[in-house]
Structure 1
Amino acid sequence: MALFVAMLRGINVSGQKIIKMDRLRQLFESMAFTNVSTYIQSGNVIFDAEELDASIVRDRIVHELKEQLTFDIPVIIRTPAELQEVVQETPYPSVNVDANEQRYVTFLSQVPTEAALAKLDAAKSEVDEYHVKGLTVYLLIRKNYGDSKFSNNFIEKKLGVAATTRNWETVNKLIQLAGESGK
């Protein structure tokens, strides 16, 4: 049995791809996943699976969601240990709250190519910072995420991979909830 965190991209945003969390839990349970719980409305699901291979689990979820909901939803899967590693390895261990700095993490579906990374580097910002490490883009936002050029769509377009972004508090809450679920 393996514990996973699934992060669905682009649901319940601006009236698009609406999925109630009760329905999402039911869908995951119908796939024979157990101990299914969700966190906030943006599509974070913690669950146990008999399958140990995260890519097989992800493909199954994507297929089943498309079958049941009739629209594509990109899904990024991480283990609680992988999320913990993301937090531990942040290049931004603290933020200046008085200056309104905020941390976000963009989770990538695959490691971007060097050419794609060069495209992102060409778009550096004088305001916000980012750091790419493997399947993770760490963001340090100095104003408002909604005003940052480093939106999820922007990062996906530059890197050419599916991605989903969560704020720092959500990442830490998912780790906490997964720890409680795994007890």
Structure 2
Amino acid sequence: MTTYAALLRGINVGGSRKLPMADLRTLMEGLGHGDVRTYLQSGQAVFASDDGDEEFLAAQLARAVEERFGFTVDIVVRDHAYLAAIADNCPFPAAELEAKQLHVTYYSAPPGEDRFAGLDPAAFLPEEFRLGDRALYLYAPDGLGRSKLAVELSRSRFNKGLIATTRNWNTVLKLVEMTGS
């Protein structure tokens, strides 16, 4: 069995698309997944599965959420090795930064550097971003809520055709820990 993290985009935010974590755990167990655990209320679940197809697992869970809760949700599923590599390969000095300053956007597929060609990084300094393996690292010294670069990067032209979901550095590390145990 492989341990995965399911990253659900945009649930339990602002009173809409409510999905209680206990119900999510029950739903995932009903799909045959083992050792299901959730983290926080913002859409992270860790589970074990014999199925090695992350896209299938994400689509299966998305269908089940829609059938059970009546709304669609974008989901990215990644295994422990991938999550650990994302944390290990951070291009910013993560150990020296506050967790609120560093974020990772996980993509359903590689976004490609060409998507960001028209973006002038100098216009957003001291904020910065770097691309990784199906991920984007964002350094926002004043936090995500005040980040002009985060707002720009969330525009559809940068994410068209992809599922994109962002987590702060504390959550990135917690998911590595949870999928590794």
Q: What is the TM-score of this pair, normalised by structure 2?
A: 0.89
2:67 matched residue in structure 1: 67
Residue in structure 1 matched with residue 21 of structure 2 by the alignment: 21
User: How far is 1:49 from its partner?
Assistant: 1.2
TM-aligned CA deviation for residue 144 of structure 1: 2.2
2:139 aligned partner: 140
Partner residue, 1:32: 32
Provide the secondary structure at the position in 2 that maps to 1:151: helix
Q: What CA distance in whole angstroms lies between the structure 2 residues aligned with 1:35 and 1:175?
A: 15
- Contact kept, 8 Å, 2:3 with 2:80, in 1: the verdict is yes
Q: Which amino acid aligns with 1:147?
A: R
Matched residue, 2:169: 168
- How many residues are paired up? 177
Instruction: Determine if contact 1:117/1:159 at 8 Å carries over to the other structure.
Output: no
Separation in 2 of the partners of 1:24 and 1:152? 29
1:37-79 alpha-carbon deviations (Å, 9 max, x no partner): 0000011100011211111111111111111111110001111
Report the AA paired with residue 136 of structure 1.
A
Instruction: After TM superposition, give the deviation of residue 156 of structure 1 in Å.
Output: 5.5
SS of 1:62's partner is helix
Alignment of 1:71-90 (within 5 A): 71-90=71-90
- In 1, Cα distance between the equivalents of 2:151 and 2:56? 24
RMSD: 2.0
**156 and 35 in structure 1: CA distance in 2 versus 1, 3 angstrom threshold:** farther
SS at 1:72 equivalent: coil
Q: Which amino acid aligns with 1:168?
A: W
Kindly report which structure 2 residues correspond to 1:104-143, keeping only aligned pairs within 5 A, or say none: 104-119=103-118, 121-122=119-120, 124-143=123-142
Percentage of identical aligned residues: 30
Separation (CA, whole Å) in 1 of partners of 2:151 and 2:74? 12
Question: Structure 1: which 5+ runs fail to align?
Answer: none
CA contact (8 A) 2:3 2:48 kept: yes
| Structure 2: 5+ residue stretches without partners | none
**Residues 1:3 and 2:39 aligned together:** no
CA contact (8 A) 2:101 2:141 kept: yes
Runs of 4+, deviation exceeding 6 Å: none
Query: What residue is the counterpart of 1:178 in the other structure?
Result: 179
Q: TM-score, normalised by structure 1?
A: 0.88
